[in-house]
């Protein structure tokens, strides 16, 4: 009986050791092709950089990234890919999600499978309310829209015309900007919700110019459409008419900034990350990023969120000693504090959303390079959209 009991205990120990050494798979649903391919590139680059710096073995588990290309804002595809990751690939975390519709489509699957889901970009406030297994390492648009509205009120901007993309993040940004700006005594003189597909910005800009506001609040996702919108702002002469351009950081993504040219110089935005954020932590992050991926690629806010999202996952695995379950992982991440390249961040234990500093920045040209230069900040901003 003693020998049989000893054999049983040894068997348990062997099984435990084997489980501890089973790879821990993180399934990333990201945009790796199409017009938004840079979104997935930045998030996966940031996540890989964290593992490169800190090691990919945590509590005896080797972390493996399983990357799936969703191609853009494709909620049905995102749902299918997440299902494959959960059922076939047996991932223990989901991560990525550049677009809010994709994250929202996957949320019920995270709940059903009790899989922790780390959102590394999608910025609609409602996302974390759709599943108790979602944590966000990026931002909400309400945070940055609040920041730029607060700055406008303090800088002699009394009237604003709002131009925004007609889908959930644009609606979130506009709603929060309106709430903060009018709540502080400002006046919205007009609003236009613009369809994402093939918009023609010229007529919209003329309408805004005719309304003569102090400023135009513009929101479109980072990339080509933002560049086209800013060109229309200059071509229609809104700047010469004294109508200031203000926005959130999406419009002046570090990755695309140089390609946008002088049309973007002087634009004031609110955001949570700039590649020239002045801290030793960020300088090391940028140096590490460009040593791995080349100096031609700038890390942007999505890279920072991918980096920090992987930091959340790694620390949760460490706290759980490698034995990951959805409820345990979420409990470990609630209230977690990190020293991020963007500055100090934490996860709100009540909402599972990120708490962070929002910076006010101005696009400046230094030599032949364009940068988002921070000149003011609002610390410890929770999501005001909840």
Tokens linked to 25: 């798979």
How is residue 206 written in tokens? 């003329």
Q: Looking at the domain assignment, is residue 386 inside a domain?
A: no
* Per-residue pLDDT, 221: 82
Q: Indicate whether 289 and 364 sit together in one domain.
A: no
Q: pLDDT value at position 263?
A: 85
- Map 2-48 to HEC letters: HHHHHHHHHHHHHHHHHHHHCCEEEEEEECCCCCCHHHHHHHHHHHH
Report the DSSP pairing between strands 369-381 and 354-366: antiparallel
Count of structural domains within the chain = 2
Stretches where the chain sits below pLDDT 70 are 1-20
Rg (CA), the chain: 22
- Which residues constitute the domain of residue 317? 2-139+279-352
pLDDT recorded at residue 226: 85
The domain spanning residue 183 has which CATH number?
A: 3.40.50.2300
Kindly report the number of other CB atoms within 10 A of residue 305's CB atom. 31
Q: From its phi and psi, is residue 158 left (phi > 0), alpha (psi between -120 and 50) or beta?
A: alpha
Q: Which pLDDT belongs to residue 16? A: 43
Tell me, what's the pLDDT at 3?
A: 41
Q: What is the pLDDT of residue 137?
A: 98
Q: Are residues 105 and 174 in the same domain?
A: no
Indicate if 219 and 285 belong to the same structural domain: no
> Is the pTM above the cut of 0.85?
yes
**Confidence at residue 12, expressed as pLDDT on a 0 to 100 scale:** 41
- 15, part of any domain: yes
């Amino acid at each position: 009986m003693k020998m049989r009991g000893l054999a049983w205990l040894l068997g348990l120990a062997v099984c435990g050791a084997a489980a501890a050494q089973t790879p821990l798979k993180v399934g990333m649903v990201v945009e790796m092709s199409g017009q938004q391919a840079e979104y997935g590139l930045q998030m996966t680059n940031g996540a890989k950089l964290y593992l490169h710096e800190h090691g990919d073995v945590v509590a005896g588990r080797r972390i493996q990234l399983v990357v799936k290309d969703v191609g853009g804002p494709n909620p049905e595809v995102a749902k299918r890919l997440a299902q494959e990751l959960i059922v076939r690939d047996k991932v223990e975390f989901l991560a990525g999600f550049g677009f809010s519709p994709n994250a929202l489509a996957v949320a019920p699957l995270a709940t059903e499978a009790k899989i922790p889901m780390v959102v590394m970009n999608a910025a609609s406030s409602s996302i974390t309310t759709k599943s108790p297994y979602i944590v966000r390492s990026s931002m909400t648009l309400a945070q940055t829209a609040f920041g730029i509205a607060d700055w406008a009120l303090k800088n002699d901007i009394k009237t604003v015309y709002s131009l925004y993309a007609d889908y959930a993040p644009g609606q979130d940004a506009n709603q929060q900007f309106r709430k903060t700006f009018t709540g502080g005594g400002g006046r919205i003189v007009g609003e236009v919700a613009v369809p994402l597909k093939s918009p023609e910005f010229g007529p919209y800009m003329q309408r805004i110019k005719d309304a003569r506001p102090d400023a135009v609040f513009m929101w479109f996702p980072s990339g080509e459409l933002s560049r086209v919108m800013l060109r229309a702002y200059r071509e229609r002469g809104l700047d010469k008419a004294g109508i200031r351009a203000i926005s959130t950081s999406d419009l002046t993504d570090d990755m695309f900034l140089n390609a946008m040219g002088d049309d973007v110089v002087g634009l004031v935005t609110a955001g949570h990350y700039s590649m020239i954020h002045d801290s030793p932590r960020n300088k090391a992050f940028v140096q590490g990023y460009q040593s791995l991926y080349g100096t031609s690629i700038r890390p942007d806010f999505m890279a920072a969120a991918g980096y920090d999202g992987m930091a959340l996952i790694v620390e949760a695995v460490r706290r759980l000693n490698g034995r990951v379950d959805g409820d345990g992982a979420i409990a470990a991440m609630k209230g977690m504090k990190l020293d991020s390249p963007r500055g100090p961040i934490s996860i709100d234990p009540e909402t599972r959303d990120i708490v962070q500093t929002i910076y006010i920045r101005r696009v400046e040209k230094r030599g032949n390079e364009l940068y988002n230069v921070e000149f003011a900040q609002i610390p410890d901003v929770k999501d005001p959209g909840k």
